[in-house]
Structure 1
Amino acid sequence: MTKASWSKALFALMLVLLLALAACNSDSEEGEGDSGSDSGESNEGGSDAESEDGLYSLDDFEGVKTNEGEAIEGGNLNFGLVSESAFEGTLNYNFYSGNPDVVVIEWFDEALLSMDENYNYTNDGAATYETNEEGNEFTFKIRDEVNWHDGEPVTAEDWAYSFEVIGHPEYTGVRYGTDFTSIEGMEAYHNGEADSISGIEVIDEKTLKITYLKANPSLLTGSIWPYAMPKHIFEDIPVAEMAESPEVRENPIGMGPFKVDTIVPGESVTYTKNEDYWRGEPKLDGVTLKVISPGSVVKALETGEVDLVDNFPSDQFPDNADMSNVEYLGTIDLYYNYIGFKLGTWDAEAKEVKPDDTKKMADKNLRQAMAHAIDKDSLGKEFYQGLRWGATTLIPPSHPMYHDTENPGLEFDPEKSKQILDDAGYVDVNDDGFREDPDGEELVINFAAMDSGDISEPMAQFQIQSWEAVGLNVQLLDGRLQEFNSFYDRVGQNGEDDPEVDIYSAAWGVGSDVNPAGLYGRDALFNFPRYASEENDRLLAEGLSEKAFDTEYRQEVYNEWQEFMAEEVPVFPLLYATTLVPVNNRVHNYSIDPAQPVYLNELAVTQEEPIVAE
């Protein structure tokens, strides 16, 4: 799998990031294309997916690009980052917070640890590891040939420094949480009670030892921070100033297959190949990444302005399924989108959620009723032609071992919704068509929704009308959709929750580790609903207990958690998704299937110029 194809997957908190992916193979025939044509035209392309009823499914797509023609030496590839907004430009794994930035980062930097198709750490990456019998000590060995782009070796000091920065009292990013507090001595260091982290020991230049407070089953599936930070570049910069420094914003370096050459802030990045890359010299000479709006992505693909994109808007697929110069790849997305309810605030000093039972959405009856009012299956069919489908629980099917297929979630039932509201005292006392709250006061629910493409507005209106149908007055915050960066600021990604937001619509790219504490734990900044309870604490802790090394027990715990969250409804999932990636027919060696990985240094093209659509 190419690095660029699973940006959300490594979004660890968030991030959190990769639920064990079950990739499905297509039964359709492979597309044929004359990708070596001197004229730049192909004979055939697009997708063989056919739909009599206008609906599609994951089974219509392959996960690996068909190679046509012969790859040339060198060449440049054009990559489209699909976004309505500019990327923020925080280009360092320790500090980024939005998915667009991580898409930029993963072309020039990468994890030291690799994962297999089940998202367990392996010894095939830039570093190998071994554990003690108890499972709480890890000894890592970085390969000798792994170097930073400036030629300096990637060292154990660099890896340890990454932990020290995230754990530092003046750290300004969003990474610090349970994945770090579980390290011996981390909290004492973070609280300023120690000058170093006792559980992190540099053995020699290439060997690092990390001791965790106790073993837990998540340590081998994504909760070990796998990113180093070049200490020789950052050590003289105050931690509080790092995120805004030129070393992060203007001149970032990494250890990946390409080096950053130039940056047009928020718009584009050009990369040149890293001839010293540890997996081998890249086949391409370079890559140009540019931001492409969802509204212009089809034209950019047809004209060859971009060879591939990070995530094609699936609502645009049916009208462009036969695009002649691309092959569409598809897989289950490591993702769900959801509706969240604001139930508290973030206590920046205590670094934990502070529930507030005076919040407008504090009554779980209201939340349950709002969930039952949404026809999720119709959402997926109407706006995504079946390429997204109704979600049931907060552990998606991309993690089949732990996704509870027997749990129907909060099903569409508007009559049940109305009954719940009636019983809870939400009735229309003034005959204006909208229900008042149980005290007889006007109830207006402010809804924050993001502008992420052409269907954002009709999607939001579909939901608003669904709530109106059961008597609830829901209004868009400020009367409009919110721009990406503004949206996440207002829902609290910087720790400040806008009190005007009552509910919001957002999405998570989920992580390799099934443990949901990074999103819903009491100490998780990304717990945007600001929900916390003793029962939630207990279940999350049980999922990391020694007993949870027994897979069946862990399944039971997470099934119970999925049921509990459907009852409490701090959020409810809307849709699961298929990732679609159209790839120009000149591109060789590209995969979005984790069972058949192709690394970025193997990416190649068959001709200098992109193939254009007929």
Structure 2
Amino acid sequence: MKKSKILSSIGVVTAAALTLVACGKSNNGGSNQNVNSVDKFSASVPSKAARQGGTLKVAVRTDTPFTGIFSDELSTTSVDSEVSQPGEEELFDTDDNFKINDKGPATLKLNVKVKTATITVKKGVKWSDGKQVTAKDMEYSYEILANKKTAAQRYSSQLENIEGMKEYHDGQAKTISGIEMPDGENGRQIIIHFKQMKPGMTNSGNGYFWEYVAPYHYLKDVPFDKLQSSDKIRKHPLYFGPFKLAKLVRGESVTWVPNKYYWRGTPKLNKIVISVISSNSTSQSIKDHKFDVIQAINTQWDQVKDTKNVNFVAQIPLQYNYIGFRVGKWDAKKGKNVMNPKAKMNNKALRQAIGYAMNVDAVDKRYTEGLSFRVPTLIPAQFGDYFDKNAKGYSYNLKRANAILDKAGYKKKGKWRVQPNGKPLVINYMARQGDSTQEPIEQNYIQQWHKIGLNVKLLGGRLTEFNSFEDKLQHDDPSVDMFEAGWSLASEPSPNIMYSETTPMNYSRFVTPENNKLMDEIDSTKSFNHKYRVQKFHEWQEYMNDQAFIIPEDNKYQVYAVNDRITGYSLKPSQNTNGHQLWWQVGFIK
């Protein structure tokens, strides 16, 4: 399962997946319905012969130190994923439509009739300590996800489709009955038994089986509740990808050297150094050629677009920013989200008005030269016919916003509107830190909300540092009424992992019978019928736009400046794992 993550900057960033369609009609890897200057860019650098050796310098943009949780099961941020990418590798490779093939570290065989998935790791796929990846490693990753002591954010109701998963999660069983190891723990195969087969299981990112592995032999002595803080996770992790971690400067940089046991062969590079840089220093770093690979900032595109000796490559990622409204809390004992009917933001009219007051199109045009663009639904256009092309979303309309509030009883008393019960209304808005344009963008939106009489205030009077932002979201900080966040999506379009009743990552905490019903239908056996599944996706998008618990905001082109002496770098899905470059094939030109 490709990982959905919170994004750390406006316009959308994190971290997983790329452009093409999962189970729908496909679009090409760097393209989108939007047409502007970035369309001239390729998704790959020119292919040339590469020499052996060299140190590649990669920049990761963040305005706060990375947390350094080197565990696919426990990490939740895009930055952690980015700094770990030279070592990280998924079990499965895909084609450019995210369909799982047999070219990766493991193979997948589905049996719809008996409701099983057989996953077989190839012989020679080894951890960086030389140990073969085993069946127990695969089972152990599910135990990390499901054991409540790890507090893993990635556990979801989708995984409970595995026989015995819920019983293990609830502490009623010591093992997961639905995971079979026919050749024993030291074998290379597991058979997963499902309650139901799901239509997206042929694609990476489907959410019903995990696509990463955890080294059981290395971590087995660490208690589940100590895993996330363990040095074996934070300082000395094991991966089976092309590189292994050689040096860590906590929160600042990671140095990777080749994994001599890598199953595909010897990487071309001698070393990869990934360093974090601030948003405000990014453009100058591109112009000064301080890094070999660095993502450009769309709001600063004009400053860097004429830089010499770089290849600009681009993609539209499976990501989006959104406005979320806190309407409940996560109940850890029940393992589900619980709505509060008396929550301040639990009024559809209020949420809709906030959406219509946002001038997203004007902001994106003003600050990014069109490299960012408003999105009308929570299903990206890259998902082909699953995307509802007739959806309008929340375009700028102050007149409509005012009319909605008037009709709902949010009357003005002086400058500000009050609640329908006559009580004062103050809305605390949490937005993330970003580059130098982040503050004026957020202040612009606050002024737009002020225009319709809503007393919206920036939480704490300033943008929130990212790690604090994530902590407040995950722990339902009562001071937060609404927030601006973002997702990097899995490459199978089901929204279950972000917005279901039983996922901790449903940060608005909204739960309705209709939402549960629609998501169940999207992932039901009936949805093996593509036409039926498309219909249910469209119904869900219409419902979510109407209810406005989550308001889609915008997406953006990701543009990377790559040293023109680099070859083998590509953003195509078939050349990536976890949405990141397969670094073993990257090298310097001879």
- Is the structural similarity TM-score above 0.5? yes
Matches within 5 A, 1:181-260: 181-204=160-183, 205-221=187-203, 222=205, 223=207, 224-260=209-245
Cα drift, residue 596 of structure 1: 5.8
Q: Name the SS for the 1:139 alignment partner.
A: strand
Partner of 2:44: 64
Task: Give the match for residue 328 of structure 2.
Answer: 344
**Residues 355 and 179 of structure 1: CA distance in aligned 2, closer, same or farther (over 3 Å):** same
Q: Pick the aligned partner of 1:387 from 371, 379, 386.
A: 371
Task: Indicate the residue corresponding to 1:582 in structure 2.
Answer: 561
The reply on whether 1:602 has 2:572 as its aligned counterpart is no
Which has the larger displacement, 561-570 or 324-333?
Answer: 324-333
Q: What residue number does 1:524 align with?
A: 503
Q: 1:435 to 1:506 in 2, by over 3 A?
A: same
Secondary structure of the residue aligned to 2:282 is helix
Match of 1:282 among 243, 263, 267: 267
- The secondary structure found in structure 2 opposite 1:270 is strand
Q: Is the 8 A contact 2:116 2:193 kept in 1?
A: yes
Matched position secondary structure for 1:539: helix
1:550 and 1:58, CA in 2 relative to 1: closer, same or farther beyond 3 A? farther
Aligned equivalents of 2:261, 2:303: Cα separation in 1: 43
* Secondary structure of 1:227's aligned partner: coil
Aligned: 1:85 with 2:85? no
Residue 88 of structure 1 aligns with an amino acid whose one-letter code is T
Q: Secondary structure at the match of 2:182?
A: strand
Please list the CA deviations of residues 224-277 of structure 1 after superposition, one character each: whole Å capped at 9, or x if unmatched.
201111111111111110110010001011000011001000000111111221
**Pairwise CA distance, 1:164:** 1.6
The residue aligned with 2:10 is none
Aligned partners of 1:437 and 1:443 also within 8 Å? yes
Query: Per-residue displacement from partner, 1:111-143 (whole Å, max 9, x unpaired)?
Result: 111222111221111001212242620111111
Quote the RMSD (CA, aligned, Å).
1.9
Residue in 2 aligned with 1:52? none
In the other structure, the counterpart of 2:11 is none
Matched AA of 1:327: N
Q: Deviations over 1:164-222 (max 9, x none)?
A: 22222322221211232110011111222222111101122111111111101132222
1:10 counterpart letter in structure 2: K
The alpha carbon displacement at 1:403 in A equals: 1.0
Contact 1:13 1:175 in 2 (8 A): no
**1:97 partner letter:** T
Give the counterpart of 1:465 among 447, 467, 470.
447
Task: Tell me how far 1:541 sits from its aligned partner.
Answer: 0.3
Question: 2:356 maps to which residue?
Answer: 372
Q: Per-residue deviation at 1:566?
A: 0.6
Give the partner amino acid of 1:117.
D
Match of 1:11 in 2: 3
1:419 equivalent in structure 2: 403
Instruction: Determine the structure 1 residue equivalent to 2:538.
Output: 559
Aligned to 1:500: 479
Query: 1:129-165: per-residue Cα shift (whole Å, max 9, x none)?
Result: 2122426201111111100000011111111111122
Aligned 8 A contact 1:446 1:500 in 2: yes
Query: Structure 2: which 5+ residue stretches go unaligned?
Result: 7-13, 21-26
1:475 maps onto 2:457 in alignment: yes
Question: Secondary structure of 1:561's match?
Answer: helix
Give 1:176's aligned residue.
155
Asked if the contact 2:86–2:243 (Cα under 8 Å) also holds between the matched residues in 1, the reply is yes
Q: CA deviation at 1:298?
A: 2.0
Contact residue 522 and residue 532 of structure 1 kept, 8 A: yes
Partner of 1:354: 338
Give the match for residue 490 of structure 1: 472
Q: Distance in 1 between matches of 2:457 and 2:30?
A: 42
Question: Structure 1 pair 209/125, CA: closer, same or farther in 2 (3 Å)?
Answer: same
Distance 1:363 1:316, change over 3 A: same
For the residue of structure 1 that corresponds to 2:385, the secondary structure is coil
Which residue in the other structure is 1:139 paired with?
118
Equivalent in the alignment of 1:446 = 428
| TM-superposed deviation, 1:595 | 5.3
Larger displacement relative to structure 2 (127-136 or 202-211): 127-136
| Alpha-carbon distance between aligned partners in 2 of 1:77 and 1:17, rounded to the nearest angstrom | 22
Q: Counterparts of 1:402 and 1:82 in 2: how far apart (Å)?
A: 32
Aligned residues: 565
Q: Letter of the 1:462 partner, please give it.
A: N
Is the CA contact 1:336–1:576 (under 8 Å) kept in the aligned structure 2? yes
Q: Secondary structure at the match of 1:346?
A: strand
Measured in 1, the distance between the counterparts of 2:582 and 2:29 equals 20
Q: One-letter code of the match for 1:218?
A: G
> What do residues 42-62 of structure 1 show as CA deviations (whole Å, max 9, x unaligned)?
xxxxxxxxxxxxx94441311
Q: Distance in 1 between matches of 2:372 and 2:4?
A: 23
Q: In structure 2, what residue type is equivalent to 1:497?
A: D
Query: Deviation digits for residues 488-534 of structure 1, max 9, x if unmatched?
Result: 11122xxx101110110011111112110111100111111110000
Comparing 242-251 with 134-143, greater Cα deviation is found at: 134-143
Give the distance between the partners of 2:113 and 2:234, measured in 1 at CA.
41
Relative to structure 1, is the Cα distance of residues 178 and 25 closer, same or farther in structure 2, using a 3 angstrom cutoff?
A: closer
Q: Which amino acid aligns with 2:462?
A: R
Given that residues 18 and 571 in structure 2 are in contact (C-alpha distance below 8 angstroms), is that contact kept between their aligned partners in structure 1? no
Q: Structure 1 residue 439: deviation in Å? A: 2.2
Tell me, in whole angstroms, the C-alpha distance in 1 between the residues paired with 2:574 and 2:174.
43
Contact 1:74–1:285 (Cα < 8 Å) also in 2: yes
Aligned to 1:611: none
Task: State the alpha-carbon separation in 2 of the partners of residues 308 and 446 from structure 1.
Answer: 38
1:88–1:190 distance in 2 versus 1, CA, 3 Å:
same
Q: Does 1:335 align with 2:319?
A: yes
Is residue 128–residue 260 contact of structure 2 (8 Å, CA) maintained in 1? no
Give yes or no for contact 2:316–2:557 (8 Å, CA) kept in 1: yes
- Whether 1:543 aligns to 2:522 is yes
Larger mean CA deviation between 474-483 and 55-64 belongs to: 55-64
Q: 1:275-319 CA deviation, whole Å, 9 max, x = no partner?
A: 22111110001100100111111222233321112x321111122
In the other structure, the counterpart of 1:23 is 28
The residue type paired with residue 243 of structure 1 is Q
- The SS at the match of 2:261 is coil
Q: Please state whether the residue corresponding to 2:200 is helix, strand or coil.
A: helix
In structure 1, the residue corresponding to 2:191 is in which secondary structure? strand
For residues 523 and 56 of structure 1, the distance between their equivalents in structure 2, rounded to whole angstroms, comes to 40
For residues 120 and 594 of structure 1, the distance between their equivalents in structure 2, rounded to whole angstroms, comes to: 10
1:325, distance to aligned residue in structure 2 (A): 2.3
What SS does the aligned partner of 1:217 have?
coil
Q: 1:541–1:19: structure 2 CA closer, same or farther, 3 Å change rule?
A: farther
Pairs within 5 Å for 1:25-64: 56-64=36-44
% identity of equivalent residues: 34
